[in-house]
Amino acid sequence: MSLYLLVEAADGYRAVFALQEFDAGSTDRKIYLVTKRDGKQLSDREGPFRIVYPDEKRPARWVRQVTALRIRQAN
């Protein structure tokens, strides 16, 4: 329960997800790493990778221009 995913973006923005948020045995929510929208590659402003979390009320963890995904352990 102490593992988390750190998502880093080109502009320095970072977001954190508890690794359990990706476990289908714990939640029905989906988190997506996308490369396309409406069948077309993401724009330079959004891509090449973007995190999309449709079930969040505020898109604070919708990260555009993702440069790194790092699994870390909380101390």
> What confidence tier does 1 reach under pLDDT thresholds 50, 70, 90?
confident
Distance (Å, whole) CA 66 – CA 57: 21
Distance (Å, whole) CA 69 – CA 6: 6
| Model pLDDT for residues 17-26, shown as the tens digit of each residue | 999 999 999 9
| Model pLDDT for residues 2-53, shown as the tens digit of each residue | 999 999 999 999 999 999 999 999 999 999 999 999 999 999 999 999 999 9
Global pTM value: 0.90
When pLDDT is averaged across residues 61-65 and rounded to a whole number, the result is: 97
Distance (Å, whole) CA 36 – CA 30: 17
